[in-house]
Amino acid sequence: MITVALPKGRTLQATLDRFARAGLSPEEDFAATRKLIVPARGAQARFVLLKDPDVPLYVERGAADLGVCGLDHVLESGADLLVPLDLGFGACRLCLAAPRDSAVARGWRSGDSGAEKGRSLRVATKYPRLTARAFGRRGVPLDVVRLSGSVELAAVADLADAIVDLVETGRTLEENGLVVLEDLLQVSARLVVNRASYRLKLEELLPVLERVGGPA
């Protein structure tokens, strides 16, 4: 029996399509049921539906054997996982952005953090760990403002000097007068696997990995 953690977000359908290649489909539609755990149709497997950032934790602690979520959540969680497959969909970038005419935006390219001298750079984000890591390399003193949504607003409303957030098309940024200063990470959906499951359930997992990662 294997347990698969599915991400509730935008990549759910693409994820289900991939698992269908391996002959694993939920026997009930998640949209139509209130069940939290749904068995796979005619197979020794079951699915759990989770918010994307929770997927790495379920898999790390073995409540699920494998799962799918964006590389952003894999790295932000710091979870100790195996990441054998890049599924390719859900592509976007984790970017540093700031208001177009701000000191930060003007100074960034010339190697200046743009923050007032003697003050930390205030950065709003849903990704405090990745933000700290990106800035740690540059030696910029940092004041991370951890938010749970509407991150662009933080820069516009002067809660922060800059933001670190996912950018897909860049339209939301543009409409709010923000520009991307730097790409920090290329994100796409990853298949993650629990370390012990990878050893103990190898025979069950290998065919699934091959088909989920292979051609349609």
Partner 1 sequence: MRPLDSPSKDAREAPARAAPPQGTQDLLFEAARRLRRCEAALARVFEERGFAEVIPPSIEAAEVFAESAGGAADALRAVDRHGHLLALRADFTAQVARIAATRLSGISPLRLYYRGSVVRESAAGSGVPRERLQAGCELVGEAGPEADAEMLALAAASLFALGIAPGAARIAVGTVGYFSALIAAAGASHRLARALTDAIDRKDLPGLTLLCTREVPPGKARDALLMLAQPPRPQAEATALLSRAQQLAPGPAASSALQRLTGVLELAQARNLGAELEVDLGEVRGLGYYTGLVFNLYAAGAPRAVGGGGRYDTLLGRFGDPRPAVGFSLDLDALVPLARPA
Binding site for partner 1 (CB under 8 A): 57, 60-62, 77-86, 193-200, 202, 206, 209
Q: Taking the complex as a whole, how short is the minimal distance between the CB of residue 103 and partner 1, in angstroms?
A: 33
For the record, the structure tokens of 159 come out as 């809660």
Provide the residue type at 43 as one letter. A
Distance CA 56, CA 77 (A): 7
Is 165 within 8 Å of 99 (Cβ atoms)?
no
Q: Taking the complex as a whole, how short is the minimal distance between the CB of residue 200 and partner 1, in angstroms?
A: 5
Please report the DSSP string for 109-125 in residue order.
TTT---SPTTSPEEEEE
Q: Taking the complex as a whole, how short is the minimal distance between the CB of residue 183 and partner 1, in angstroms?
A: 15
CA nearest 73: which of 18, 129, 123, 30?
Answer: 129
In the complex with partner 1, which residue's Cβ is closer, 173 or 192?
192
> Chain-centre distance of CA 155, in angstroms?
21
In the complex with partner 1, which residue's Cβ is closer, 59 or 160?
59
Q: Taking the complex as a whole, how short is the minimal distance between the CB of residue 59 and partner 1, in angstroms?
A: 9
In the complex with partner 1, which residue's Cβ is closer, 3 or 113?
3
Element housing 175 (H / E): helix 171-175
Q: Taking the complex as a whole, how short is the minimal distance between the CB of residue 135 and partner 1, in angstroms?
A: 19
Helices (H), 22-170: 55-60, 71-77, 103-108, 128-136, 151-156
In the complex with partner 1, which residue's Cβ is closer, 107 or 128?
128
In the complex with partner 1, which residue's Cβ is closer, 53 or 99?
53
